[in-house]
Chain A
């Protein structure tokens, strides 16, 4: 019957038809935006679901732009946790605190002890907190930095025509030019490509500048002196298994730096001791 009506009023129905065709892909602006935005949350929840399923904690951090403190319990590196979750393992969480006038976490200790992972974790937790997401930790009170800067080692390349140390210093200079008293700066093994005495000098000079700025910082280093540079520095040490130093525990505790890297244990594990190596090399 409708068909007959349509025959009776061809113009009106043609217009209706073309309207429907034009609007077939119409999405209400607000609904569209909602769909896009909610994707972000859903994607994050999807990403952390397998980690949660392993019983690892997530929490919503208490954030502030006034209280310049950090209280973190059981924080862990998110991508590492995701990777380990796929392999059926869990990641070790660590605590960190910066209270009162404390501003810098100076992390030292053995190779392969989780120092870099710890530094990454602190950066991630601040970043995720700023996004308003649940952070990988049991509990977290976080100061929201205005910006987060990272200074990790880069490989030397001829195209830069600069030595590694010069490159390190240039990048550090750029960070200091932009960082404010409310920034977070994360440094990982900076200035390792020079002699110990130079590295100590540079590390102290740079850390001093960072502390004068009053900003928050995490500094991963082998230079023990940096850990006790001032009252604003907190020494964190990566721990090893006291029975077998080649086994790392990945826990990082607040305690004075002891100057032991336990590198020999790793080199022995890979057969690089003098006697081992001599037997391995063909003639």
Chain B
């Protein structure tokens, strides 16, 4: 009995987190995303982190999750209620398992029986919720879950468990059978079902008629010990069975909690984004190696979450199907970094089966996501800034493979323009020629320009828009790179004074203040 709400097939997937996780956490501001999903709950945070960073590499599973998530968004209370029951179940376990030690079969038995007893009403509750919501379930995954619950947790079955538990708890002693073995040893101890209670008590059972009996003298310690040992050997099998059953149910509730935690995280995020009137959609995700990437109204979900309801993020359209290299240039403060982060976040969210921050989106699965962002000076005084960048790119080269996505933000800008551009060009060429998709934000005009002269060949050149007035729209348009990024605008705004260079061209309506975003 497994919830199977994340994977359609019963696979126990234990994927390791990617090795470049630290870089990705910072570069893509993943903490903001995970925190929004967690809404203060540490368990939801780790579930979100794990599911998002260990995405399954095939479209069928993604679709499977998208459909379940859609059910969850339609009927949030159903998912929340089941999650609540799972939490209760794990509380039960915590209370009971605390009190006994596994070594002694007798006490293990009573502990397991108590736990199992406490689980029964919770299993019934899960089943009731499942029955009530059966009509609304549309996703194969959630339907399967409901059917499984109805089938495996039928009334007959639950009643049977309850009867067993009642019998085991009855405390009327145990009935054992044993055979006589070599040289008179007792072997093959077996626990027998106790005689039923009620009117049958008056009918002597097959086993109990003709019974001989004797009493152990009250001070015969050895006698009592022998009896206890006999009892333990007899209940061994039952103990194992009951403990097994309790473990099984516990594992079910644990899996249920972990898997639902992801969907509840999505629900929290959905609530936040809806409150800000931001669009989300389920993307079409295709197989790796197809070079698909198109979206409309794509925005950076981390930025949106940080700005909150007062802020307004700008959505961008991108049509990069059949494209293996996207070069993003243009004005400072024009939304390039934000766009790049938006791309990375959308890819990650899409690959784990979530909705994505866009009005419409499709993309191919990538087998790995890597970020190469410019960093601060290394404080350990071992390497210079450029060497540090090069070293990180070399680490990426060790891990990256065909079918991956590489996001570069101002890579190789810590050397002079000519040489930085040349190194960047060689790296990009080698990456794209080996089947790695690259998005590259750069101020290196020589680099961007080199790919402009590369006709066709799957290159898309985007540039942050700047109006004649000097205003930034935070929109990215398909345009060739320019030799300037309008740093002068920024200079004149920040130093706004009589500097001759600012007054000579006198651009009107300077760049928008931050709140205007």
Contacts and interface: CB of A to CB of B under 8 A. Distances in A.
Interface of A: 77, 79-80, 83, 111-113, 115-117, 152-156, 158-159, 161-166, 169-170, 173, 176, 188-189, 191-199, 201-202, 205, 222, 259, 261-264, 266-267, 269-275, 277-278, 280-283
A195 B487 contact: yes
B301 to A, nearest CB: 11
Contacts of B216: none
Contacts of A264: 419, 422-423
B381 A80 contact: yes
A278 B434 contact: yes
Interface string B372-407: 011111000101111100110110011011100000
B376 A154 contact: yes
A165 B400 contact: no
Given A173-B495, A196-B417, A205-B501, A158 B487 contact: no
Given A198-B488, A202-B487, A116 B415 contact: no
A226 to B, nearest CB: 12
B426 A198 contact: no
Nearest to A282: B401
B402 A281 contact: yes
Contacts, number: 194
Interface stretch (B14-22, B86-94, B155-163, B478-486): B478-486
Interface residues of B, number: 70
B398 A280 contact: yes
B333 A274 contact: no
B106 interface: no
List 10 tightest A-B contacts by C-beta distance, closest first: A198-B487, A111-B386, A277-B430, A282-B401, A112-B384, A263-B419, A222-B416, A196-B417, A263-B415, A165-B332
15 contacts: A116-B385, A153-B377, A161-B514, A166-B333, A196-B446, A197-B483, A197-B484, A199-B487, A263-B386, A263-B423, A267-B423, A267-B426, A271-B394, A272-B390, A277-B397
A111 B484 contact: no
Given A111-B386, A191-B487, A281-B402, A166 B494 contact: yes
A238 B466 CA distance: 38
A83 B332 contact: no
A169 B494 contact: yes
Interface in B497-517: 499, 501, 514
Contact of B333 (A155, A162, A195, A278): A162
B431 interface: yes
B397 A280 contact: yes
Nearest to B306: A158
B310 to A, nearest CB: 12
Given A116-B384, A264-B419, 14 more contacts: A79-B381, A111-B386, A117-B381, A154-B376, A155-B375, A158-B303, A194-B487, A201-B488, A261-B420, A263-B386, A263-B423, A272-B427, A281-B401, A282-B402
Nearest to B337: A156
B491 interface: yes
Given A194-B443, A196-B445, A263 B420 contact: yes
Most-contacted residue by chain B among A194, A263, A280 (CB, 10 A): A263
A209 B83 CA distance: 63
A274 B394 contact: no
Contacts of A267: 390, 423, 426
Nearest to B373: A156
Given A165-B333, A263-B415, A111 B384 contact: yes
Contacts of B514: 161-162
A201 B390 contact: no
B483 A274 contact: no
Contacts of A83: 381
Chain A CB within 10 Å — which of B400, B413, B422 has the most?
B413
B491 A202 contact: yes
A258 to B, nearest CB: 11
A275 B429 CA distance: 10
A83 B381 CA distance: 9
Nearest to A82: B381
A266 B337 contact: no
Interface string B144-183: 0000000000000000000000000000000000000000
A195 B101 CA distance: 69
A28 to B, nearest CB: 42
B490 interface: yes
Contacts of A165: 332-333, 485, 487, 490
A223 to B, nearest CB: 8
Nearest to B376: A155
Given A198-B484, A270-B391, A189 B385 contact: yes
Nearest to B415: A263
B35 interface: no
A163 B514 CA distance: 11
B173 to A, nearest CB: 67
A199 B341 CA distance: 24
